[in-house]
């Protein structure tokens, strides 16, 4: 599973490409496409009539204003705008086509290519009658399969058809090991905490915020296992107060486990 940040090979100053933002109600992603060379920003729109890429900003001034706002929102690690690497779009569920003309190097190149016959371009607006699935809602890893226990319903009734012999050996019960294991995970910036495989199956997920009020750390604990997940864009050690709160919470969970063991 790839992350959207902390990759030393990636140009952190890049702006051209697909930008996405998860809405505050977590209902869907907003999608824009930036062409820095031509100073154009397109917005993805889905209606009953089909799909379109509409020019939202063009020209030096409007382009700069909109892009600056997108960059400024990146301090919000949950609902800010983020640039998705080209080779990772499908992995994150962004499957809608980016038209060849949206990557043009000159204004005259803003048009559809021959192989994009289902799309049309008028006044730099690309449209098609085709519909695409809701973007960005694909889980990053396949969910863990849960066996359907209903198919085994009633099977226990047939386990003891024959009486057990008097000399039946009593199985040895292994002693309970009083251990409390803490592990750490990295949570991609576009993934909701409940979708994190490492946090799943551990019950309630506790969220922790930075001094600026941004959720960047999550903890879940059960049965002697505790997982601490940090957002990929959070730099460990940058917020001592947050990390102290995380450490205190882990200590409480450890003590509760020790008392119950």
For the stretch 205-221, pLDDT in tens is 889 988 888 888 999 98
pLDDT interval class at 178 (50, 70, 90): low
Residue 131 tokens read as 């519909």
Residue 40 in any domain: the answer is yes
pLDDT(143) > 60: no
Q: How confident is the model at residue 75 (pLDDT cuts 50, 70, 90)?
A: confident
Contacts of residues 11-15 at CB distance under 8 Å and 24 or more positions apart, as own/partner, are 14/83, 15/67, 15/71, 15/83
Residue 91 tokens read as 């992995």
Q: Look at the chain and report how many structural domains it folds into.
A: 2
213 within a domain of the structure (yes/no): yes
Place 109 in a pLDDT band, splitting at 50, 70 and 90: very high
* Whether residue 155 has pLDDT greater than 50: no
Range of the domain at 123: 17-128
Closest among 64, 192, 178 to 139, alpha carbons compared: 192
What confidence score (pLDDT) does residue 255 get? 79
State whether residue 175 is helix, strand or coil. Answer: coil
**End of a domain among 128, 161, 189?**
128
Q: Are residues 26 and 124 in the same domain?
A: yes
- Residue 113 maps to a domain: yes
Contact 184, 230 (CB under 8 A): yes
Tokens 């946090």 belong to residue = 199
- 42: in domain: yes
pTM above 0.85, yes or no: no
Helices and strands (H and E) in the chain: how many: 2, 11
- Report if residue 6 sits inside a domain: no
Instruction: Tell me whether residue 147 is in a domain.
Output: no
The label of the residue with tokens 């820095």 reads: 36
Give me 212's structure tokens.
Answer: 């600026």
Q: Does residue 114 share a domain with residue 26?
A: yes
- Helix or strand run (H / E) with residue 252: helix 240-260
């Amino acid at each position: 599973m790839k992350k959207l940040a902390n990759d030393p090979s990636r140009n952190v100053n890049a702006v051209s490409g697909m930008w996405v933002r998860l809405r505050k109600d977590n209902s869907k992603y907003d999608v824009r496409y930036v062409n820095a060379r031509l100073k154009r920003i397109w917005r993805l729109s889905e209606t009953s009539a089909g799909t379109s890429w509409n020019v939202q900003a063009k020209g030096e001034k409007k382009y700069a204003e909109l892009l600056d706002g997108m960059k400024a929102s990146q301090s919000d690690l949950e609902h800010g705008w983020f640039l998705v690497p080209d080779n990772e779009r499908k992995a994150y569920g962004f499957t809608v086509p980016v038209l060849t003309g949206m990557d043009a190097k000159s204004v005259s190149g803003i048009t559809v290519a021959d192989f994009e016959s289902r799309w049309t371009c008028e006044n730099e607006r690309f449209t098609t009658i085709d519909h695409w699935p809701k973007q960005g809602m694909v889980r990053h890893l396949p969910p863990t399969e849960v066996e359907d226990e209903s198919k085994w319903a009633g099977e226990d009734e047939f386990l003891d058809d024959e009486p057990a012999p008097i000399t039946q050996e009593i199985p040895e019960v292994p002693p309970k090991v009083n251990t409390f294991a803490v592990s750490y995970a990295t949570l991609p910036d576009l993934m909701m905490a409940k979708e994190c495989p490492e946090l799943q199956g551990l019950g309630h997920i506790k969220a922790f915020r930075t001094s600026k009020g941004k959720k960047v750390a999550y903890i879940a604990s059960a049965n002697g296992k505790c997982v601490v997940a940090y957002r990929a864009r959070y730099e460990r050690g940058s917020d001592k107060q947050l990390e102290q709160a995380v450490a205190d919470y882990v200590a409480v969970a450890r003590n509760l486990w020790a008392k119950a063991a």
